Amino acid sequence: MHDIDAGKDQRMRKGIMTNERDYKILHYLYYGPAAVSYIFFIFFDTDKKHKKTRWRVMLRRLQKMQDANLIQIIEDNRADDRILILGKKGAELVCNVHSLEIENAWTHAGKNSDFYHDLTTAQIARNFIFNAKDEIEVNLEFEHFLKKVQQRKNGNINGLGYPDFRVHLGKKDNEEQIYDVERDCCTIGKHSFEKKLCSSQYPLLIVTDTMQRVKWIYMNARELQVSRRVFIVRIKQLPKNIYSPFKCWSPPNTEEITFKIGEE
């Protein structure tokens, strides 16, 4: 479902001949930024005895991809790693190969360069995409795309609270299931969070960092008495495969419950 033999469709772009691995990197970055070390581990760390050589190979390749406007390499002063973001040319290429919506591609740096939020949000999004079983069709819409769609409908997005992304899960002969996902990094206050809790009827998965924040979100959701289902989980409790059962908090339950995506 997610793999394509891009090596058979090589294209010259400003001196770079794109290959199968390039296409896979671009597809990976479509769903958000990634640290260079992650890209190395996933796509280049194939020879355990020659890591330094493989690292140099990766850096040369990434530089060529940046020179061809396929990706952006961004320095983050608060981290020891560089950050990769999909470039506009790369977005065009990967959307053509995978039939993806180009306006949904993540080609921007986060607000105030909040790469911790962006990196973890992207990783959760990729968890949905790349861990789905073959019989499940997964479509994902990021916040910036949801806002564009709303603006085209009536031009007004004021007063609305958008999730970081919305996931559509479809199975053959079954009704589509939709989830909103919010990556909370304690950077928004009560009023903004209330808008996110109340602006949709879809089940909302909130991924946060600390138990203290879990309690704060839980109390806000209970006070508002929202009609939608809300599931709150610490990021450390979220399984690597998002489709596996996990423990979370869900008002009005006063104890932890076990929840599984796709069974709502």
pLDDT of residue 108: 87
Range of the domain at 221: 114-264
**Same-domain check for residues 236 and 255:** yes
Q: Could you report the per-residue pLDDT of 97-131, keeping only the tens digit for each?
A: 999 999 999 998 866 556 889 999 999 999 999 99
**Same-domain check for residues 202 and 120:** yes
Task: Report the domain count for the chain.
Answer: 2
CA 22 to CA 201: how far, in whole Å?
Answer: 39
How many CA within 13 A on the CB side of residue 73? Answer: 16
Share of the chain above pLDDT 70, in %: 88
**Same-domain check for residues 79 and 120:** no
pLDDT of residue 15: 60
What CATH number corresponds to the domain at position 14? Answer: 1.10.10.10
CA 115 to CA 200: how far, in whole Å?
Answer: 26
**Same-domain check for residues 124 and 209:** yes
Looking at 109, 144, 176, the residue that finishes a domain is 109
**Same-domain check for residues 181 and 233:** yes
**Same-domain check for residues 66 and 132:** no
Looking at 64, 93, 109, the residue that finishes a domain is 109
Q: Could you report the per-residue pLDDT of 65-75, keeping only the tens digit for each?
A: 999 999 999 98
Q: Which value, to the nearest 10 degrees, does the dihedral of the CA atoms of residues 140, 142, 143, 144 take?
A: -140
Q: Could you report the per-residue pLDDT of 189-217, keeping only the tens digit for each?
A: 888 889 889 888 899 999 999 999 999 99
**Same-domain check for residues 190 and 135:** yes
Looking at 90, 109, 128, the residue that finishes a domain is 109
pTM score of the predicted model: 0.89
User: Taking the CB of residue 112, how many other CB atoms lie within 10 A of it?
Assistant: 8
**Same-domain check for residues 130 and 259:** yes
pLDDT interval class at 9 (50, 70, 90): very low
- Looking at 8-22, 46-60, 134-148, which range is the least confident one? 8-22
**Same-domain check for residues 208 and 264:** yes
pLDDT of residue 264: 62
CA 65 to CA 122: how far, in whole Å?
Answer: 20
